[in-house]
């Protein structure tokens, strides 16, 4: 009896081991985990992030002054808490520049993402190997070969990489120096960066399209332009819109922050309040930015579900 | 044919409505911001700045452009590497905090937490953390602590915790849950059922997604430099303001190389997993 059960348990151990050996795993994931662990360990050991500094007496007194005094809306500092004083303070801030800055942030990101969307509609087909070749969706023998089309695809992709790898902030800096402080530098900086991203995502979407409808239309003599505008783009549109809204959400976030460089979005007033050391107002404006982001995320989520 | 298609209430498709609204909003935006096309024309010096900036792209600096370099300053390329190193250190530090906190919050926000109230609270915290940009967190912490690398790290860690927790909770909810049920039925505690029943099958996707966020953290860490922390953005801004465009391009190329390396790695990871 005991011999029998020990055989059974040995069997079970073997079966578990078998399961363990055949479990889904990936070398790449493991390598990534190891790589990240290396970075993290190095970061913890390096003296760059002086962690204990955060708990020094000076930092603590800074923090307690910030929480106990600076953060409290100034009408409430001496007189104690009252709803009417608080709402009057918030209302004044909203009227003097809060609402206007929220609207400016919103419109800046709308215009930026619309420009980026249009530009990437133009560039995405040029970066797709399947469309930009000698005979799109035709006989495979004629598709390959070094020709001008390959150069076109390559150029488009390299350009897209450069556009998106340079941070928006660098574009904004350059454009502010060139154009002066209107809303344009921020709009164009966001548009350039997002054109790079949307072009890459768009090209990938077109390349991953189901080939059957495209090939059959190519077989009955559809031209490249017809294939691109009448078949590929409509088929890719749902994905395009998905990416468009995803980038719109990030645009709102970046437009808020880019204002700190001197353009009238929320960031401008946040930097302004920071300069005057009115931290109560600064945190209020940061919270306004959060509200704007939550609202636009909600709208974009609803629209995405509606068109799915 | 899809029966819904037959009784479509609108003469145009939903996508058509959305496309039209997008175009209309774009035009309204131009008027709302009172933009004028004249402002798009660079002023006299502007063209010169752009020309100098872009021609410097072809000859990035390999040494300081300034005539006077303070004693003890490291060679320029060493300084570039140092800036990149610090950028990575900030990002890795912030990410390791965010992964731990994101796991905890993600568990509480997933259906595994077992209480609708806890789930709701966790989701509210996640929404609040996510909806403030890391640079704005940094500005708030600058006011609270004064300038300190640790405040930059926390500033990145907070919104990244939010994003990770949101994705983690979704991945955990989608993970096969039969093992966790079996463990619960056998009398295991909720936490253990989570740790040994649900977490293991979600781990590969979570690792892939975390690595992708690490790539984003590197970008954020670089950009924090524009606001006074000593990552590469700090040097880009300083060189830009001193009109040392060749130096700017050296920093930019270093940053682009690092970002692209991470991007290709994480793209390869994501190809394998549907994140």
* A151 and A37 co-located in one domain: no
| Among A146, A123, A149, residue whose Cα is nearest residue A134 | A149
Is residue A255, in this structure, part of any structural domain at all? Answer: yes
pLDDT for the residue B217:
93
pLDDT for the residue B82:
92
- Contact (CB<8Å) A114/B146: no
* A302 and A227 co-located in one domain: yes
pLDDT for the residue B5:
53
Q: Does B179 touch chain A (CB under 8 A)?
A: no
* A6 and A96 co-located in one domain: no
Residue A289 sits in a domain of what CATH number? 1.10.3720.10
* A110 and A12 co-located in one domain: no
B4, B93, B242, best to mutate vs chain A, most A CBs in 10 Å: B93
- Please, which pLDDT band fits residue A235 given cuts at 50, 70 and 90? confident
Residue B162: its chain A contacts at CB < 8 A?
none
CA distance A85 to chain B (A): 24
* Secondary structure (DSSP) of chain B: --HHHHT-SSSS-HHHHHHHHHHHHHHHHHHHTT--GGGGSPPHHHHHHHHHHHHGGGS--SS--SS---TTPPPHHHHHHHHHHHHHHHHHHHHHHHHHHHHHHHHHHSGGG--HHHHHHHHHHHHHHHTS-HHHHHHHHHHHH-S-HHHHHHHHHHHHHHHHHHHHHHHHHHS--HHHHHHHHTT--HHHHIIIIIHHHHHHHHHHHHHHHHHHHHHHHHHHGGGTSSSHHHHHHHHHHTT-HHHHHHHHHHHHHHHHHHHHHHHHHHHHS--
Q: Does B125 touch chain A (CB under 8 A)?
A: no
Is residue A221, in this structure, part of any structural domain at all? Answer: yes
Q: Does B140 touch chain A (CB under 8 A)?
A: yes
Domains for chain B: give ranges and CATH numbers: 3-40 (no CATH), 58-272 (1.10.3720.10)
Is residue A186, in this structure, part of any structural domain at all? Answer: yes
pLDDT for the residue A1:
46
* A151 and A293 co-located in one domain: yes
Residue B210: its chain A contacts at CB < 8 A?
36
Instruction: Evaluate if pTM is beyond 0.80.
Output: yes
The last residue of a domain, from among A29, A52, A75: A52
Q: pLDDT exceeding 90 applies to what percent of chain A?
A: 28
- Please, which pLDDT band fits residue A292 given cuts at 50, 70 and 90? very high
* A40 and A88 co-located in one domain: no
- Residues 208 to 247 of A: which have CB under 8 A from any B CB? 237-238, 241, 244
* A244 and A116 co-located in one domain: yes
Q: Does A174 touch chain B (CB under 8 A)?
A: yes
* A134 and A10 co-located in one domain: no
pLDDT tens digits, A223-232: 888 888 888 8
* A6 and A123 co-located in one domain: no
Q: Does B139 touch chain A (CB under 8 A)?
A: yes
- Total number of domains constituting chain A: 2
- Contact (CB<8Å) B272/A254: no
pLDDT tens digits, A75-128: 777 777 778 888 888 888 888 888 999 999 999 999 999 999 999 999 999 988
* A35 and A107 co-located in one domain: no
Is residue A156, in this structure, part of any structural domain at all? Answer: yes
* A210 and A275 co-located in one domain: yes
Q: Does B146 touch chain A (CB under 8 A)?
A: yes
B14, B81, B92, best to mutate vs chain A, most A CBs in 10 Å: B92
* pLDDT surpassing 80 at residue A3: no
pLDDT for the residue B275:
44
Is residue A99, in this structure, part of any structural domain at all? Answer: yes
* A11 and A108 co-located in one domain: no
Range of the domain at A44: 2-52
The last residue of a domain, from among A11, A31, A52: A52
- Residues of chain B predicted below pLDDT 70: 1-11, 272-275
Is residue A301, in this structure, part of any structural domain at all? Answer: yes
Contact A214, A278 (CB under 8 A): no
The last residue of a domain, from among A30, A52, A74: A52
Residue A279: its chain B contacts at CB < 8 A?
143
Q: Which ipTM score applies to this complex?
A: 0.83
Is residue A22, in this structure, part of any structural domain at all? Answer: yes
Is residue A62, in this structure, part of any structural domain at all? Answer: no
CA distance B194 to chain A (A): 19
- Contact (CB<8Å) A58/B43: no
pLDDT for the residue B4:
53
């Amino acid at each position: 009896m005991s011999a029998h059960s020990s055989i059974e348990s040995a069997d079970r151990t073997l079966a578990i081991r078998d399961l363990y050996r055949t479990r889904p795993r990936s070398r790449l994931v493991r390598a990534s985990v190891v790589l990240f662990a290396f970075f993290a360990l190095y970061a913890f050991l390096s003296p760059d992030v002086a962690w204990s500094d955060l708990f020094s007496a000076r930092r603590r007194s800074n923090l307690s002054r910030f929480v106990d005094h600076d953060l409290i809306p100034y009408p409430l500092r001496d007189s104690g808490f009252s709803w009417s004083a608080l709402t009057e303070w918030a209302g004044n801030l909203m009227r003097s520049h809060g609402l206007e800055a929220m609207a400016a942030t919103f419109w800046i990101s709308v215009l930026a993402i619309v420009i980026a969307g249009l530009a990437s509609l133009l560039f995405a087909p040029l970066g797709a190997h399947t469309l930009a070749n000698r005979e799109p969706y035709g006989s495979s023998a004629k598709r390959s070969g070094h020709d001008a089309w390959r150069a076109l695809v390559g150029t488009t992709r390299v350009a897209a990489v450069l556009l998106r790898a340079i941070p928006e902030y660098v574009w904004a800096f350059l454009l502010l120096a060139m154009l002066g402080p209107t809303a344009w530098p921020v709009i164009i900086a966001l548009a350039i960066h997002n054109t790079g991203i949307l072009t890459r995502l768009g090209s990938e979407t077109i390349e991953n399209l189901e080939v059957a409808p495209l090939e059959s239309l190519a077989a009955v003599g559809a031209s490249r332009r017809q294939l691109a505008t009448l078949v590929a783009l409509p088929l890719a549109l749902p994905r395009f819109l998905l990416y468009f809204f995803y980038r719109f959400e990030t645009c709102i976030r970046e437009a808020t922050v880019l204002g700190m460089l001197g353009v009238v979005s929320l960031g401008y007033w946040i930097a302004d309040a920071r300069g005057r050391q009115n931290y109560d107002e600064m945190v209020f404006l940061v919270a306004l930015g959060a509200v704007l982001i939550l609202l636009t995320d909600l709208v974009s989520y609803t629209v995405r579900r509606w068109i799915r | 044919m899809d029966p819904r298609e037959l009784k479509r209430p609108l003469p145009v498709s939903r996508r058509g409505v959305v496309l039209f609204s997008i175009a209309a909003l774009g035009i309204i935006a131009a008027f709302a911001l009172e933009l004028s096309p004249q402002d798009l024309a660079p002023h006299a010096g502007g063209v010169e700045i752009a020309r100098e900036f872009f021609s410097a792209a072809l000859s990035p600096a390999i040494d300081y452009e300034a005539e006077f370099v303070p004693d003890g300053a490291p060679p320029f390329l060493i300084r570039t590497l140092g800036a990149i190193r610090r950028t990575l250190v900030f990002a890795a530090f912030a990410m390791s905090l965010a992964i731990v906190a994101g796991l905890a919050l993600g568990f509480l926000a997933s259906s595994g937490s077992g209480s609708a109230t806890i789930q709701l609270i966790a989701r509210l915290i996640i929404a609040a953390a996510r909806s403030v940009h890391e640079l704005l967190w940094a500005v708030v912490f600058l006011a609270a602590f004064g300038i300190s690398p640790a405040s930059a790290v926390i500033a990145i860690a907070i919104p990244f915790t939010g994003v990770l927790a949101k994705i983690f909770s979704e991945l955990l909810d989608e993970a096969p849950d039969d093992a966790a049920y079996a463990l619960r039925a056998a009398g295991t505690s909720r936490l253990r059922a989570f740790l040994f029943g649900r977490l293991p099958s979600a781990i590969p996707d979570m690792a892939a997604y975390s690595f992708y966020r690490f790539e984003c953290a590197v970008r954020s860490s670089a950009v924090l430099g524009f606001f006074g922390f000593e990552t590469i953005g700090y040097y880009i801004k300083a060189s830009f303001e001193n009109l040392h465009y060749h130096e700017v391009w050296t920093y930019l190329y270093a940053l682009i190389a690092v970002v692209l390396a991470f991007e290709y790695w994480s793209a390869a990871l994501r190809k394998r997993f549907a994140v």
